[in-house]
Amino acid sequence: MREAKRILVLSDSHGYPLNNLLMKAESLGRIDAVFHLGDGYRDMDGFLTEFPLLFRVGGNCDFFGGEKEELVPLFGKRFFLTHGHAYHVKTTLSLLKSRACEAEADCALFGHTHAPHNEYDAGRLYLNPGAACDGRFSVLRVEKNGDLYAELY
């Protein structure tokens, strides 16, 4: 990997038109991949050719879309994607942290709460970008040395 890789992280779009949010994210720099964490699984359907590295999971409001969790090896890291409702993230992160550890993930990404969250714990990054329907997103950078950094917008 020659330069840092940038991953756009979205969740909870709930049918919100994503064009402006995606343009804002791209104005911050190149996007190498996109993770959508559910409750709007199909909201990214129109962007499949624009973002060939698009990974998404279904949320509790996605009745016809996607697996409920996925482990994605990408850019030398292991990303655990989930919407979060099955791990009760509105009340605790302990179940999510246990599952991320079990999966040997470098980063656990979740949504559901609509509240941004960016935390390192025991060398693992836990990131919730907030709700895309509120204009929130995150850009996750994988640096050349393998370090992970997340910025919330």
Class of domain 5-152: alpha beta
Structural domain spans, the chain:
5-152
pLDDT tens digits along 94-122? 999 999 999 999 999 999 999 999 999 99
Length of the chain: 153
Reported pTM: 0.96
- The amino acid present at 36, given as its one-letter code, is H
What value does the mean pLDDT take over residues 24-40? 97
DSSP lists the bridge partners of residue 77 as 74
What value does the mean pLDDT take over residues 11-22? 96
What value does the mean pLDDT take over residues 135-148? 97
Residue pair 108/80 in contact by the 8 Å Cβ criterion: yes
